[in-house]
Copies of this chain bind each other. A is one copy, B any other.
Amino acid sequence: MPTSARKQREIAEREERIVDVALGLLVEQGYIGLTMDKIAAEMEYSKGTIYQHFKSKEDVVAAILSASGEIRAKLFERAATFEGHSRERMGAVGVAAELFYALYPHHEQAENLVRAHSIREKADSKRTEFCAACEFRCFGVATGILRDAVAGGEIEIAPGQTVEQIASGLWSLYVGAFKLRDHGRFLEDEYLSDPLPGLLRNAQMFLDGCGWKPLSTEHDYLASRERALREIFPDEARRAGLA
């Protein structure tokens, strides 16, 4: 007798709940504060049951990463469907990144942990591979738009320059800005704590420097950003308080 579909569904749901609970602990109390006992207690399941879903604590962390990693990839892919010229579409990807950082602030931290510790050894390799695949999907969205822009003549790639480089630059500006936010909180420096306005402006400066047309002097990218929030991410924007 094969496991019934209902059973299957219940198991999948529980797995999600475990990841959720573990995520909460990870965010609130750090990797050290995340213990199998606490997960089990909060789940109102026994530890043994947790171990039927995940082969180790590390595997749980990898699952957390997988979950938010996929969410990010989906956000990016949705952003790419934004209707507009290529630079506007890249702007929509930026909006996706903003929303992701706002809604899943733990992701960065979990990512560091996964890389730092020898977690990979103890996590299910399917999960770690899935995480990597999600990252490539995100990067692929950005470089895809850039290639469209090249094809459409909206940007010119100088000799020795590549679309990957430009994508990396944008990615850096975003990652750096949010890292700075966390850093600022740590240093208790008020100024650093809201990096968003600076980030938006810096991204425009950078793309202007790259000559990606229309330049920010020729087009209102803040309006495009608003449109993307409205058209593509109405739910997420509301949840992130950016509606």
| A interface residues (Cβ-Cβ under 8 A, vs B) | 29-33, 109, 112-113, 115-118, 132, 135-136, 160-162, 164-166, 168-169, 171-177, 179-180, 182-183, 186-187, 191-192, 195, 197-199, 201-202, 204-210
Contacts and interface: CB of A to CB of B under 8 A. Distances in A.
B205 A209 contact: yes
Given A32-B32, A175-B175, A201 B116 contact: no
A179 B115 CA distance: 11
Contacts of A33: 117-118
A140 B241 CA distance: 32
B29 A183 contact: no
A117 B32 CA distance: 7
Contacts of A192: 168
A115 B183 contact: yes
Nearest to A131: B187
Nearest to A114: B186
Given A112-B112, A168-B180, A180-B171, A117 B205 contact: no
Q: Max chain B CB contacts within 10 Å: which of A109, A168, A191, A208? A: A168
A198 B179 CA distance: 20
Contacts of A176: 168-169, 171-176
A164 B172 CA distance: 17
